[in-house]
Structure 1
Amino acid sequence: MTNKSRIKKTLGRKFSDLDDHLYFLKDSLAKLIGGDPSYIKQVAAELRVLICKAGVEGLMWRVNEEIEASDIVSVHLPGDVNLEHPLAKDLKFFFVPLMRTGLGDPRLIPGEYSLKGIIKNSEAIMVSGDTYTHENLIRAISEQMGSAHEDEGVTPFLVELSNTIVSDQAALSATLISVADLVIEVGEGILSKATNDNGFLRKNRPEISIGTDPVKAYFESHSDFENISEPLPEEGTVMFLVDHPHGDWRTNNHEYNFGLFRQGQLEVQARKNKDKNMEIHVKGFGQAILSIENPIPNFEQPGVMIGLTWNSSQLNFYLNGVRIETMAIESER
């Protein structure tokens, strides 16, 4: 049957479809945040239906074209990577999650933005030197490893993203969770306007409670992909930035475990101990684990940024841009 011979849905039916898919998204998101990583497949599939163009525009945007509800969200928007900047030379990976106002890095000034504009135009991530909008990333996940389609293989950037962890959080999950939360907010606003202005009656459904704790990365005992093991390059730079809830983390008396950071073959564990020293443990340079424990430098930055630079003979450790240790390493890794 061709599209021309199909009978068009009423606006009321499209409201009902939106209500259904938002509920499916909430349910899948709650289970993903609750600790079941397999639900990343369903979250990606629902986001694809709601906000991605695939032949036709996403359902949520099509409905909103007819009733013109607000899609404005208040967020810390990381912005796009300036590839002309000297510091972006040879940059291969960059990721800052989309965060609600007050929850993100205070150095990213929050503002009010169109969610549709963010999804369509803003870069969600840079992987392997290429940037991807939120829409392109969601479509790739859903069509290659999500419920929309289980492919025999995936593109290399999704393999790299699958193996990236920041402070115990899987980057693949974090990219979808931050968007899904905002999609639910805007979708609820659209349905509220449909109820008030168009008399739409929503279905009675069991309430879904979505947790707020970050999702811990899930580690399989086997490799999910073939031929992905690549050694670290001879020279490189890696910076991990953590949005930390305590601005005085450096000077207070609390211990903090900042968790695991992983990018490819590089693994970093970091914690602040009772003596107000920072412990950093690194794997990936040969068989040994390289470890340091140093006093935390004096700085006013609220976040926690752990950095490493290396060449064939030495490894440099940085904390919030301040070098705290240099260590000799073997040239053969």
Structure 2
Amino acid sequence: MSGGFRDGARDAGRRRRRGRGEQAVVPDAEFASYYGRPVLKRPEWKPLDVAGYLFLGGLAGASSLLAAGADVTARPALARAAKLGAAGAIALSLAALVHDLGRPARFLHMLRVFKPTSPMSMGSWLLAGYAPLTMAAAAAEVSGRYRTAGAAATAGAAALGPAVATYTAVLISDTAVPSWHEGYREMPYVFAGSGATAAAGLALAAVEPAQTGPARRTAVLGAVLELGALRLMRRNMGQAAEAYEEDRPRAWLRAAEVLTAGGAALAAGAAGRGRVLAALAGTALLAGSAALRLGVFHAGVVSAEDPRYTVVPQRDRLTARSRTGEP
């Protein structure tokens, strides 16, 4: 690996020394890594745990927003489903995280430090504040008591909901995994749209169509944001986008696109069409959101295992800097 980087540095040095009209005497070195071994350590996270954690966090955060809106617009059935969905999703999300960590104490140890520059630290504190609010809102809804406290908890969860739905995108983009890191600009928008479609899907599947107007609109807007941001991300991330075209990531992302687009189309036409169509739309949206997270996860594993996704972009950046004279 070190030899490969030295070759790249020498190539860049030769290019800096050449004049504009001069031809290279020695051809540029071809890509190679140290005995073909990965430059990065392959992510050892469990796919279902981590993809489930990413999916359920988005579902919970967006459901809290939907619950607050339903309360304001006097849609009690929608509010109840969204509050219970947010509480259940965040509980399962924390369970998936703890299962991947191995011991519950490891999550608690994250709360020993408050570091604003660390997505992991800030995410841990965010979950520690958000989860009790969703539980309180759900408990007040189920018991029918403490309405004022329940309304305050619902509002607090809604305020934190957007951060809960998107902070996992910042978390994975802050790693060295190429197909995650190179998408850091658009990944939060992808996750925001995916969380919105999941929350809308849960509401459509669980609530009578008469009260699901906000969920149908959320499904359409979330699908447009998710699919549009995903395409933009893959177009802007350079060579790292190739990892999304490998067999397993491509299959999951293709399924996500079909399910999300189809679910949004069904949701848009579900008004007044009966419970079955709405439930079908909701199921498709939930499945599409989960498939997206699995596709993103597996693309990250692919890009970490192949050294060229790490080394070649670094050499390209060295070449670009040498041409512009940047240090």
| TM, length-normalised to structure 1 | 0.28
More strand by share: 1
More helix by share: 2
Higher relative contact order (CA 8 A, sep 6+): 2
